[in-house]
Amino acid sequence: MNLAAASAMRREHRTSLRLEMACELSAVRAATLAVRDWLAEKSLPETELDGWELALAEAATNAVKYADAGARQLPVTIEVLWGEREVEARISDHTAGFEWPEKVDLPDVDAEGGRGLFLIQSLTDEVVYLRHAGQNIMILRRVRSTAAKETLPDVSQLQNRLADTEAALMDMTAELSSSYESLVALFRYSAELGANTNLKEFANRLLKDLMRLSEADCAVLRLLSPDGKKMETLLVLPENGNTFLPTLVLADTVGSVEIKTALNRQDFWFGPEEPLAVEDPLRVIVPAGNGICHAIFVANQLVGTATLGRLMADKVFTAAQVNLLHTFTDFLAIQIVNARLMTERTDAHVTRRELQIAADIQRSLLPSKIPACRPFEVSAVCQSALQVGGDFYDIIPTGDGALLMIIADVMGKGVPAALR
């Protein structure tokens, strides 16, 4: 975002009004009065307020009068912009439109109609009529009489403008520095990864850094259970006694924004306009305020969700802060998946070793030497179907020249059979 765009957006927000009115004559009055009130708040002189009220009423009345049945279903939009030197209004309608005459004349003095366009033109400095298929826009402009003084802006205006510019610069600096900090943090985590094997501790530090950089008041990290049916709570920040969040069952989607995020595999915002459901467990953490819930993926596999929240309803996360959330949690997800793969590999190795030991023990139960028994020659072989088996044999000399031969077979195969 460049500096000019940043400050323009801010100003635009302060200095524009947009309203939609139903396409009916009875709606015209309320709409024009709403615009009048808005302009009056900005101390536009009374005569100019009267002029705008009438010009807009004429334009809006035309937009309704000439709408066909289909167009009557669509709203008429009025936008008003408070410019540096002028007021501009845009009225969008869905009529068939008309050709704006080159010269708008007054009809005969005793004609009963046909004065609308004349009034609109007389009450404004400039009229532009744009005709499109399906929508026409009438743009009206009138220089503010109070604007003349502003050609030489006074000190307070200059100070305001300077403050705007400074605010935009501060935003950009903050954005840059948070990008820098996030990069540094990610490098540091990468370096630490080898040494730190405790995933939860690692995630805890990463999430705390993310909260600090994104100015969040709270954060929740959920991981999808291995069977893919549940969302388990790994972390709730800040940590204090009552930050317990129950495990969520995916099939049981009663009002949890985290479940919604996981199922839809996309981010969801919540706040005053999209409040958390009454039964959403997150309400314990963010009772009011606002936040964003992000679905974390690695290689198209859902790993879990990360939620950042703010307790103030009007402080919404910026695009840069949402980027931080994505970067940090996606990085964390890779570490989580890596750690899981590592554990699986270690587990497999341990299991193989344990089986080897079990096989050795089982084999040690079998006689290593078979006693001589002339004139017979006795030999034995044992081949298990699996690594460890349930087969057993022994050959015991009875002392009177006879041999006791035992062969046992436990039903089944593998370790359970061997241990029976």
Closest approach of Cβ 20 to other proteins, in Å? Answer: 18
Closest approach of Cβ 123 to other proteins, in Å? Answer: 9
Q: State which of residues 43, 68, 103, 113 lies at the interface with other proteins (CB under 8 A).
A: 113
Q: Which residues, 81 to 110, sit near other proteins by CB under 8 A? A: 106, 109-110
* Cα separation of the two ends of the chain: 72
Our CB check for other proteins shows the closer of 113 and 399 to be 113
Closest approach of Cβ 61 to other proteins, in Å? Answer: 4
Q: How far is CA 383 from CA 65, 363, 389, 412, 414, in A?
A: 97, 10, 8, 14, 12
Alpha carbon 226 to chain centroid, angstroms: 24
Q: Considering the rule CB under 8 A, would residue 50 count as an interface residue with other proteins?
A: yes
Q: Which residue has the tokens 């969302």?
A: 231
Q: Considering the rule CB under 8 A, would residue 48 count as an interface residue with other proteins?
A: no
Q: Which stretch binds other proteins (CB under 8 A): 118-126, 335-343, 372-380, 405-413?
A: 118-126
Kindly determine how many residues on this chain lie close enough to bind other proteins according to the rule CB under 8 A.
24
Q: Considering the rule CB under 8 A, would residue 116 count as an interface residue with other proteins?
A: yes
Q: Which stretch binds other proteins (CB under 8 A): 93-101, 115-123, 249-257, 400-408?
A: 115-123
**Residue count of the chain:** 420
Binding string to other proteins for residues 28 to 47, with x set by CB under 8 A, is what? xx-----------------x
Our CB check for other proteins shows the closer of 119 and 337 to be 119
Mapped onto helix, strand or coil, the DSSP state of residue 69 is coil
Closest approach of Cβ 27 to other proteins, in Å? Answer: 9
E strand intervals along 225-324: 230-237, 248-249, 268-270, 290-298, 301-310
Query: 318 Cβ partners below 8 Å, 6+ apart?
Result: 171, 175
CB contact burial 257-274 (16+ within 10 A = b; e otherwise): bbbbbbeeeeebebbeee
Q: State which of residues 2, 26, 379, 398 lies at the interface with other proteins (CB under 8 A).
A: 26
Closest approach of Cβ 112 to other proteins, in Å? Answer: 4
Handedness of CA 159, 162, 166, 167 (dihedral sign): positive
Q: Considering the rule CB under 8 A, would residue 54 count as an interface residue with other proteins?
A: yes
Q: State which of residues 68, 99, 105, 112 lies at the interface with other proteins (CB under 8 A).
A: 112
Q: State which of residues 11, 15, 34, 61 lies at the interface with other proteins (CB under 8 A).
A: 61
128, β-bridge pairs = 139
Mapped onto helix, strand or coil, the DSSP state of residue 416 is helix
**CA neighbor of 295 nearest in space, from 287, 284, 286, 306:** 306
Tell me which residues touch other proteins (CB under 8 A). Answer: 25-26, 28-29, 47, 50, 53-54, 57-58, 61, 64-65, 106, 109-113, 115-116, 118-119, 122
